[in-house]
Amino acid sequence: MRSLVALSSFLVTACAIAAPVAYTLDPAHTHVQFSWNHLQYSNPEAGFDDVTGTLMWDANDVANSSVDVTASVESLHSHVAALDQKLKSAEFLDAQRYPKLRFVSTRVERLDDAGNLRIHGNLTVHGTTRPVILEAHVNRVGMYPMLEVPAAGFSATSVIKRSEFGVGAGIPNVGDELSVRITAEALEATGFAKAMQAMAAKAPANKQ
Eight-class DSSP state of 20? P
What integer pLDDT is reported at residue 143 of this predicted model? 94
Helices (H), 98-153: none
Domains of the chain: 20-203 (2.40.128.110)
From 137, 140, 93, 96, select the one nearest 118 (Cα to Cα).
137
Instruction: Evaluate if residue 198 carries a pLDDT over 70.
Output: yes
From 146, 154, 147, 93, select the one nearest 124 (Cα to Cα).
93
Instruction: Evaluate if residue 4 carries a pLDDT over 60.
Output: no
Rounded-to-integer distance, Cα 208 and Cα 196, Å: 20
- Percent of all residues in the chain with a pLDDT value above 90, rounded to a whole number: 79
From 66, 89, 71, 68, select the one nearest 20 (Cα to Cα).
66
pLDDT tens-digit profile of 146-176?
A: 888 999 999 999 999 999 999 999 999 999 9
What integer pLDDT is reported at residue 10 of this predicted model? 33
Q: Are 47 and 33 in contact (CB under 8 A)?
A: yes
Q: Are 26 and 192 in contact (CB under 8 A)?
A: yes
pLDDT tens-digit profile of 30-40?
A: 999 999 999 99
What integer pLDDT is reported at residue 97 of this predicted model? 98
Sign of CA dihedral 177, 167, 72, 132: negative
* Helix, strand, or coil (residue 106): strand
What integer pLDDT is reported at residue 206 of this predicted model? 53
Question: Which residue did the predictor score with more confidence, 11 or 187?
Answer: 187
Cα dist. 161→124, 151, 176 in Å? 13, 32, 5
Q: For the chain, what is the mean pLDDT?
A: 90
Return phi, psi of residue 90, to 5°.
Answer: -65, -20
pLDDT tens-digit profile of 94-132?
A: 999 999 999 999 999 999 999 999 999 999 999 999 999
What integer pLDDT is reported at residue 59 of this predicted model? 87
- For residue 172, say if its preceding peptide bond is cis, omega within 30 degrees of 0: yes
